[in-house]
Amino acid sequence: MDAAVEALASLHHVESHQLDLASGVPQLTLRFLVDVTVYSGENRNAHAAAEMMRDAVERVALTGNLSVLRRNRGRWVPL
């Protein structure tokens, strides 16, 4: 978790983070803010930050699927 938070915090404000176990598999969830630009630019920045975070975590653990979601009108939608 520390590697994930540190990597994201180097680029964006991390609002929250949590570690869950889903069927015995650890799952990291991090919520972070991307600077406001054009919509597609924000999405690209979020994906780039998530990939950088994944690279940092892979140095200390095996990773699985990466999902990037965006809050849109009160709902979380995949990018």
pLDDT in tens, 21-41: 989 999 999 999 999 899 999
pTM of the model: 0.85
Quote the CA–CA distance of 27 and 56 in Å, as a whole number: 15
Q: What is the pLDDT of residue 51?
A: 95
Q: What is the pLDDT of residue 12?
A: 94
> Residue 9: which domain range?
2-78
Say if residues 61 and 67 touch (Cβ distance below 8 Å).
Answer: no
pLDDT in tens, 48-72: 999 999 999 999 999 999 999 999 9
Q: How many domains does the chain have?
A: 1
